[in-house]
Amino acid sequence: MNTQKINSLSQVNHSMNWFQKFLMVCSGGNIHILRKTPSEWNKFAGIGGIVLFTAVFATLSAGYAMFTVFDDIWISVGFAVLWGLMIFNLDRYIVSSIKKTGTWWNQLLMSIPRLILAAFLGIIISKPLELKIFEKEVNKQLNTIIQRNKTQLQAEMNGRILQQSGPFETEKKDIQTKIAAYQKSYDSASVELEKEILGKESGLTSGKVGYGTNAKRKAELKEQRRLNIENYQKQIAPRLEYLDKEVSKVYTNIEKERDKTETFEDQFNGFAARLQALDELGKNSAIIGLAAAFIMGLFITLEIAPVLIKLISSVGPYDYLLEKTENDFKLYSKEKIEKGNALTDHRINNFKNKLGS
């Protein structure tokens, strides 16, 4: 009878091919117990396949995300592999930690935090892949965001120019207003002199033709007002030069800052920027928003699928054997502890007897 069991077991072991074994390892199942329960192979191979493909998608997702950050293929590949292995190991633990031998409510309560964690991982995995799927649309939206940021930057810079150069410009306008007043006074004297020489009668002229006493007096007034303009312009020239330099300095500094900021804006192409563009696309286009939601839902479903399969599947031979193995180990451990305690008590009693004698 024992020989028949051994032969049967060897035939079962032989029928498990390497790919099946690999998928069952991916599922987090105990391969030694699974060898004895061939009816469970398909279920655990299916769970392992989902865990494996989830890790593959996580690797691709992390690789694309890191490439947008570092723009280096080797750093991206290294981080992607590391991230994929971490997700693979985490998924295996989530699935393997669900026990089927308890009550259904107990299993459900144990599964809720695992489902939440799996859904969160699904969202993390889906976002970079959404960016890749909608790459053309995201690039177009990025250009829109860049132009919008540049327009806002230009308005901000213009406001700063007005604020910083305002006092200088106001003083320059006051000086120009005063020069204009001097010029107007000079022009008025020139007109009155011309009228006096031509003999045009007005309230300020004599009405006599020729260069007489009144014309001479008006010529002196005109010359005086010309000198007033020249003297004021000479006097104020250093101040005007200073004001022009200060205004020019304000424009130069802000232009340098704007050029530097615009250069930074032109490089607005990182992972966070692409997420912003994808978010705006979803808000502006119902179709893209719906497609992005479906993609996210797909990866969340893919991520929680192993947990759901394990949760809704019926108790099988694997679960009974696993429970038996764990119980045997608990009993063995308890027995070893009891034997150890008994041996310790025996030694303590012997030591007390020796002391008493």
| Per-domain boundaries in the chain | 2-133+273-344, 149-269
- Rounded distance, CA 58 to CA 199, Å? 100
- Give the model confidence (pLDDT) of 299-337 as tens digits: 888 878 887 877 777 777 887 787 788 787 788 788 888
Work out the pLDDT band at 78, boundaries 50, 70, 90.
Answer: very high
How much is the mean pLDDT over the chain? 80
- Report residue 156's pLDDT band, with 50, 70 and 90 as the boundaries: confident
Residue 39 DSSP class: G
Rounded to 5°, angle at Cα 14 from 12 and 16? 75
What confidence tier does 264 reach under pLDDT thresholds 50, 70, 90?
A: low
Sign of the Cα pseudo-torsion (136, 137, 141, 142, in order)? negative
Q: How far apart are CA 87 and CA 128, in angstroms?
A: 15
Asked if 207 and 217 touch (Cβ cutoff 8 Å), the reply is no
Query: Is 294 exposed, middle or buried, given 0-12, 13-18 or 19+ CB atoms closer than 10 A?
Result: exposed
Q: Is pLDDT at 4 greater than 50 in this prediction? A: no
The average pLDDT across 150-155 equals 81
Q: Which residue has the tokens 């950050």?
A: 69
Q: Does 10 have pLDDT greater than 70?
A: no
- Per-residue pLDDT tens for 210-220? 666 777 777 88
Is 48 in contact with 25 (CB distance < 8 Å)? yes
Give the pLDDT confidence score for residue 2 in this predicted structure.
43
DSSP string across 49-81: HHHHHHHHHHHHHHHHHHHHHH--HHHHHHHHH
Which position has the higher pLDDT, 150 or 297?
297
Helices 104-133, 286-312: inter-axial angle, 10-degree rounding: 150
Residues 338-342, mean pLDDT to the nearest whole number: 79
Query: Is residue 51 within 8 Å of residue 26, measured between CB atoms?
Result: yes
Whole-angstrom distance, CA of residue 199 vs CA of residue 205: 8
DSSP assignment, residue 102?
Answer: S
Per-residue pLDDT at 81: 92
What is the rounded CA–CA span in Å between residue 130 and residue 141? 14
Contact 40, 16 (CB under 8 A): no
| pLDDT at position 357 over 60 | no
Burial of 75 (0-12, 13-18, 19+ CB in 10 A): middle
The pLDDT value given to residue 267 = 63
Give the tens place of pLDDT for each residue, 219-249.
888 888 888 888 888 888 888 888 888 888 8
Cα distance between residue 51 and residue 86, in whole Å: 12
CB 233 within 8 A of CB 154: no
Q: In this structure, what token pair is assigned to residue 77? A: 């590949």
Find the angle CA(264)-CA(265)-CA(271) to the nearest 5 degrees: 95
- H/E/C letters for each residue in 310-333? HHHCCCCHHHHHHHHHHHHHHHHH
Rounded Cα distance, 288 and 22, in Å = 38
